[in-house]
Amino acid sequence: MSRSVPYQTLQAFVARVYERLGVPADHAQTAAEIAVAADLRGVDSHGVEMLPRKADYIRKGLINPKAGIKIERETPATALVNGDNGLGEPVSKQAMAWCIEKARAAGAGFIAVHDSNHYGIAGYYTMMALEHDMIGISMTNTTPITVPTFGRKAMLGTNPISVAAPTGASHPFVLDMATSIVPSGRMAVFRNLGKSIPAGWAIDSEAHAMNDPGEVTKMLYSRTGGGLLPLGGEGEEFGGHKGYGLTLVVDILSGVLSGAAFGPFVYPQKDGRPAPGNVGHFFGALAIEAFRPLAAFRQSMDELLGALKDAPKAPGHERIYIHGEKEFETEAARRRAGIPLHDQVVTNLMGLARDIGVEFDL
């Protein structure tokens, strides 16, 4: 069961929660906007479902609610940013804005961030570049819950990648994907729906397939071995080693290059207790006019995407989708009808509101 909530109401509630937890109003509004953006686009695993967990980290001192954002190294086209162990959303939005400024001046801008936390959906930041006629790039490392190919212990995160590019007449191209076979938040979605996960998503410490999303979640966060499989699945037959390689690329750019934690050291545990995550992010913006005229680029994008959509369809299918297209359509519908929240998500949010003394009006 679920209820539909207007996105404005949901965003205001999330911002109140963060402010109650000591987050400055501007950072609270940014974090709320990005959480609700995930739900609007149908990425429910990265939306308000995550709020109780993030609130718990703030209350336990694992996230700094009053973090500052500081540039530590800088060139005309690059920068290294310290997130001061704050929420991932405010520092990431600022870093992407700086990338866009640099790309406007130099043709390209790239920024790495360290000492941050989970930043929501990667696509939010790449779509910022679209408003400036630029190509956006965004990626982050995450909690180590993905096993390497031929391994049976989680060593890397779900490590998402997003690239967004403007078009002419059609929706922009917005790739936003985990490099694991699924994002970890999908477990909560399946658990709330009472569904088993497909075989081939996760393995236990003995490399046996798992199908109970609740048991997978317990395993992932207890770090007892096992984990999600990389994009492409188990072994090399269907390209699992390629997903593993993409996951590692994200960790190199987000973690190693930035000086953040990487691999199994993201969100470490000390004496069996969680410690600050030191998550790393990587952002980029490319000014299209630095390469070719914008109008010509848009026309070529429309020709490319149009050719794909007009290609012959497989039996039983009437449409070929472009990355981001489903999410744009979902967002339009949810802006009209509200965001559907599963009853368990509502219960969790209600409990959080009660615990911290915030009005619950969803």
Instruction: Say if 252 falls within a structural domain.
Output: yes
What CATH number is given to the structural domain containing 12?
A: 1.10.1530.10
Structural domain including 362 reads 1-66+340-362
Same domain for 151 and 200? yes
Residue 217's pLDDT is what?
A: 86
Same domain for 133 and 174? yes
* Angle (deg, nearest 10), helices 122-130 and 25-40: 100
To which H or E segment does residue 89 belong? Answer: helix 88-106
CA nearest to 323, candidates 125, 132, 170, 200? 170
Q: How far is CA 68 from each of CA 18, 84, 86, 200, 289, rounded to the nearest angstrom? A: 16, 6, 8, 42, 34
Residue 2's pLDDT is what?
A: 77
Instruction: Say if 165 falls within a structural domain.
Output: yes
Same domain for 86 and 59? no
Same domain for 177 and 86? yes
User: Residue written as tokens 């509101």?
Assistant: 353
User: Residue written as tokens 């010509």?
Assistant: 296
List phi, psi (to 5°) of 95.
Answer: -60, -40
pLDDT means per 10 residues, the chain with 362 residues, are 90 98 98 98 94 97 97 98 98 98 98 98 98 98 96 96 96 97 82 87 92 88 88 94 98 98 93 90 98 98 97 97 98 97 94 96 88
> How many angstroms from the chain centroid is the CA of residue 350?
24
* Angle (deg, nearest 10), helices 325-337 and 25-40: 110
Same domain for 121 and 269? yes
SS (H, E, C) 55-68: HHHHHCCCCCCCCC
Residue 1's pLDDT is what?
A: 64
Instruction: Say if 267 falls within a structural domain.
Output: yes
